[in-house]
């Protein structure tokens, strides 16, 4: 192998390592609230909105509050500094990204998954 290729390879491998290290640092793992609470780090939690506990937007503080139930049934209050996300009520699943502070999930992102928007699973015969 020529020195040129070795140098190229070294640069390439270096780049891969740097990118991966960067990525590991910036990743948010999908976990349950219990784990999120223990780790205190940046995570993602998937779950359903607990309708009975409501959802409200506090316009003065630009704060949207709701309670999410994760896949294992763990519930936690979520705070999100933005308006209520689109399709919140209709979402089949909600994914929040952020971290737990003092028993509250401080979300930097709230993703509402609404498959029925694109593909229906059933049809209303009477419509």
Binding site for other proteins (CB under 8 A): 15-16, 19-20, 22-23, 25-31, 42, 44, 46, 51-52, 57, 59-60, 62, 82-84, 86-90, 93, 95, 97, 111, 113-115, 117-120, 122-123, 125, 127
DSSP secondary structure, 69-102, as one string:
EETTS-EEEEEESSSPPTTTTT-SEEEEEEEEET
Q: State the nearest-atom distance from the C-beta of 9 to other proteins, in Å.
A: 13
Smaller CB separation from other proteins, 79 or 113: 113
Structure tokens at 83: 């308006």
Q: State the nearest-atom distance from the C-beta of 121 to other proteins, in Å.
A: 9
- Report the alpha-carbon distance of residue 117 to residue 10 in Å, rounded: 47
Q: Which helix (H) or strand (E) holds 20?
A: helix 3-25
Q: State the nearest-atom distance from the C-beta of 7 to other proteins, in Å.
A: 12
- Report the alpha-carbon distance of residue 43 to residue 105 in Å, rounded: 10
Q: State the nearest-atom distance from the C-beta of 103 to other proteins, in Å.
A: 23
Smaller CB separation from other proteins, 20 or 104: 20
């Amino acid at each position: 192998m020529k020195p040129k290729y070795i140098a190229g390879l070294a640069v390439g491998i270096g780049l891969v390592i740097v990118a991966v290290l960067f990525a590991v640092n910036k990743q948010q793992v999908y976990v349950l609230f219990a784990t999120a609470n223990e780790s205190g780090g940046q995570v993602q939690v998937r779950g359903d909105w607990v309708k009975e506990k409501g959802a409200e937007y506090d316009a003065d503080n630009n704060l949207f509050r709701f309670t999410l139930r994760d896949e294992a049934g763990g519930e936690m209050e979520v705070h999100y500094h933005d308006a209520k996300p689109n399709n919140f009520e209709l979402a089949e699943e909600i994914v929040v990204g952020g971290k737990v502070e003092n028993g509250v999930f401080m979300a930097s992102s709230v993703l509402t998954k609404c498959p029925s928007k694109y593909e229906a699973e059933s049809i209303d015969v009477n419509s």
